[in-house]
């Protein structure tokens, strides 16, 4: 029943799976919509994220979330894209469009473990920057995760239709603050606020854009050679040419190897709102971003994309929609062909897992998926047994390494308001912990009635208390703890650490011993006084 490795290899070649990383308000939703418009998934911008009902359709799965107009969880968007000029090429051939998977990262200011996990499921990232604001805290954090995971990054400077910094200022800022060398594929013609078009640095040609009413449609493009461009744009063209030459002199031309090695980042200037530069971004993704590749298993052996089916669960989500109260697990396919209805094996339990309710998810509408290939993201309904990091496979057994847990920076105790609800509370805690909603820490002093919750972002706590109430009818009291830092320690060091003021040692459910500190000065003091103690930083991703 399964397709041949050749079919899988062909499907893999045309796939690109990426995420957009950005600080809130840089324009991620607008860009997502612009990409959907260019892929002809929607006919007009405004359909997915209308101005009034902004972000209304992207997995707004809890009342809390609706009230704030933010998206707590991620969705995956899949669309076909045919690079320009290829659509009608040799109609008799078996030409197939590219398949683009856009995995959405949570778009709010708070940072959660979900964001990190999503980035384990992509092969490339688009770092979206607001031309006026440059690098912002969230962009920096997300970028660090990309670097840690070796994810190649394409940089997009958005909102070029509004006043902002100069291209060289932005380039310098990125090079200096994150140590990534931007290699612009295009430079803008016209300063920020006067966006006329793009100089394609590789062809030397000018892509001139025209506005459409309200930016609702794909912006018409005109391709001019250098002479025509100089005549049309005068000084703005000359400035762009000079900038491009300067970049070449500094060695900032695109180099595919350095890009894939995470040393350089192809850069594009866009206006998501006017749909300028969006096609160029799609073409760069297709041309430069790597297709899905095999993945190392726990023994260091690579499961190749053409091997039998295997996938990694990277995200679990419950209570997504009041009309579908269920638990949905998202898996990223690593190898082989996935067919809905397949019965696969859950590596962590060695139990069979039936996939007859597999779904592709877009906005509020769920559509069923029948076949999927490496790089694709599939939602599995009623996935009570699955947790982030789990492996599903068919054929030869495989188990991928755990996704890892991330350095928590926020800590609080939680207890059931009524002692009579204790049993329910325990059950809920286990459930939420297994979904990876929050990390749970325990020690003998505090006991089990009020475990310590540890989170990367404080919104994870709100999700816990809201779900405790909505799904388990347990009212809880959350009390923030005065710790802000965790270090991994060991059995030898913990007695001494426990004696210190402002320090407490806990066991995480995965068995790791974590010492919590009130602040970094406390930590530095203890490290100085007791240099023999084991205090290892928890790396941002996959420690």
Binding residues (CB under 6 A) for ligand GDP: these are 22, 24-30, 54, 107, 158-159, 161-162, 271-273
Residue 514: CB partners within 8 Å, gap ≥ 6?
441, 454, 486, 487, 488, 489, 505, 506, 507, 508, 538
Q: Are strands 476-480 and 410-416 parallel, antiparallel or unpaired?
A: antiparallel
Contact 327, 383 (CB under 8 A): yes
Minimum distance from CB of 163 to ligand GDP (Å)? 10
User: In the numeric block, which tokens belong to residue 226?
Assistant: 């250098």
DSSP per position, 387-408: -TT-EEESSS---PPP------
Residue 227 C-alpha from the chain's centroid: 42
Minimum distance from CB of 30 to ligand GDP (Å)? 3
Name the residue nearer to ligand GDP (CB basis): 161 or 283: 161
Minimum distance from CB of 275 to ligand GDP (Å)? 9
Minimum distance from CB of 322 to ligand GDP (Å)? 24
Minimum distance from CB of 23 to ligand GDP (Å)? 7
Name the residue nearer to ligand GDP (CB basis): 199 or 278: 278
* Distance from C-alpha of 538 to C-alpha of 543, rounded to nearest angstrom: 6
Minimum distance from CB of 32 to ligand GDP (Å)? 8
Name the residue nearer to ligand GDP (CB basis): 45 or 361: 45
Question: Please, is 24 exposed, middle or buried when counting C-beta atoms within 10 Å of its C-beta (0-12, 13-18, 19+)?
Answer: middle
Name the residue nearer to ligand GDP (CB basis): 51 or 499: 51
Name the residue nearer to ligand GDP (CB basis): 59 or 306: 59
* Distance from C-alpha of 182 to C-alpha of 169, rounded to nearest angstrom: 11
* Distance from C-alpha of 472 to C-alpha of 287, rounded to nearest angstrom: 49
Minimum distance from CB of 175 to ligand GDP (Å)? 23
Name the residue nearer to ligand GDP (CB basis): 274 or 333: 274
* Distance from C-alpha of 81 to C-alpha of 36, rounded to nearest angstrom: 9
Name the residue nearer to ligand GDP (CB basis): 340 or 364: 364
- Return the number of other C-beta atoms located less than 10 Å from residue 169's C-beta: 13
Minimum distance from CB of 301 to ligand GDP (Å)? 39
Name the residue nearer to ligand GDP (CB basis): 36 or 398: 36
Q: Angle 226-233/235-249 helices, nearest 10 degrees?
A: 130
Contact 72, 438 (CB under 8 A): no
Name the residue nearer to ligand GDP (CB basis): 28 or 522: 28
Strands (E), 42-191: 76-81, 98-103, 124-130, 153-158, 181-184, 186-189
Q: What angle do CA 252, 541, 315 make, to 5 degrees?
A: 110
Minimum distance from CB of 29 to ligand GDP (Å)? 3
Minimal CA–CA distance to 375: which of 336, 401, 327, 340?
336
Minimum distance from CB of 90 to ligand GDP (Å)? 36
* Distance from C-alpha of 116 to C-alpha of 433, rounded to nearest angstrom: 16
DSSP per position, 123-145: SEEEEEEETTTBS-HHHHHHHHH
Name the residue nearer to ligand GDP (CB basis): 134 or 404: 134
Minimum distance from CB of 24 to ligand GDP (Å)? 4
Residue at shortest CB range from ligand GDP: 27
Name the residue nearer to ligand GDP (CB basis): 160 or 393: 160
């Amino acid at each position: 029943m399964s397709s041949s490795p050749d079919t899988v290899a062909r499907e893999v070649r045309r796939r690109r799976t990426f995420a957009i990383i950005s600080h809130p308000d840089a324009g991620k939703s607008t860009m997502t919509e612009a990409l959907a418009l260019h892929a002809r998934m929607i006919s007009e911008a405004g359909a997915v994220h209308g101005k009034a009902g902004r972000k209304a359709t992207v997995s707004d799965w809890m009342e809390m979330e609706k009230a704030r107009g933010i998206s707590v969880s991620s969705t995956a968007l899949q669309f076909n894209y045919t690079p320009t000029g290829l659509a009608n090429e040799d109609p008799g051939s078996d030409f197939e469009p590219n398949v683009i998977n856009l995995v959405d990262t949570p778009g709010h200011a708070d940072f959660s473990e979900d964001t990190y996990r999503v980035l384990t499921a992509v092969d490339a990232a688009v770092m979206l920057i607001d031309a006026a604001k440059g690098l912002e805290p969230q962009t920096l954090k997300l970028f660090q995760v990309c670097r840690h995971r070796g994810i190649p990054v394409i940089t997009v400077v958005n909102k070029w239709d509004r006043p902002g910094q100069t291209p060289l200022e932005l380039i310098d800022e990125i090079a200096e603050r994150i140590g990534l060398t931007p290699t612009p594929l295009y430079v803008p013609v016209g300063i920020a606020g006067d966006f006329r078009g793009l100089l394609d640095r590789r062809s030397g040609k000018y892509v001139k854009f025209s506005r459409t009413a309200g930016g609702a449609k794909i912006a018409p493009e005109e391709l001019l050679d250098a002479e025509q461009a100089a005549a049309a744009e005068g000084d703005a063209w000359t400035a762009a040419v000079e900038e491009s030459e300067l970049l070449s002199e500094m060695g900032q031309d695109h180099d595919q190897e350095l890009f894939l090695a995470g040393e350089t980042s192809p850069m594009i200037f866009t206006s998501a709102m006017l749909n300028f530069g969006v096609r160029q971004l799609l073409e760069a993704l297709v041309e430069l971003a790597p297709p899905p590749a095999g993945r190392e298993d726990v023994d260091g052996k690579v499961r190749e994309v053409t091997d039998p089916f295997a996938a990694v669960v990277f995200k679990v989500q419950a209570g997504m929609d009041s009309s579908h109260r269920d638990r949905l697990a998202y898996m990223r396919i690593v190898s082989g062909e996935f067919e809905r209805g397949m019965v696969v094996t859950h590596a962590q339990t060695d139990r069979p897992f039936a996939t007859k309710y597999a779904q592709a998810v877009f906005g509020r509408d769920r559509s069923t998926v029948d076949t999927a290939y490496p790089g694709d993201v599939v939602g599995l309904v009623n996935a009570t047994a699955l947790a982030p990091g789990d492996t599903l496979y068919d054929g030869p057994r495989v188990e991928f390494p755990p996704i890892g847990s991330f350095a928590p920076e926020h800590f609080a105790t939680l207890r059931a308001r009524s002692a009579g609800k204790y049993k329910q509370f325990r059950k809920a805690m286990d459930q939420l912990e297994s979904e990876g909603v929050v990390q749970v820490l325990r020690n003998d002093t505090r006991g089990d009635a009020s475990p310590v919750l540890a989170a990367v972002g404080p919104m994870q706590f709100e999700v816990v208390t809201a779900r405790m109430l909505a799904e388990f009818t347990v009212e809880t009291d959350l009390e923030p703890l005065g710790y802000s830092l965790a270090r991994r320690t060991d059995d030898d060091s913990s007695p001494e650490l426990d004696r210190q003021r402002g320090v407490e040692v806990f066991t995480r459910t995965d068995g790791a011993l974590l010492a919590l500190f009130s602040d970094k000065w406390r930590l530095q003091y203890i490290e100085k006084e007791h240099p023999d103690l084991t205090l290892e930083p928890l790396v941002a991703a996959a420690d």
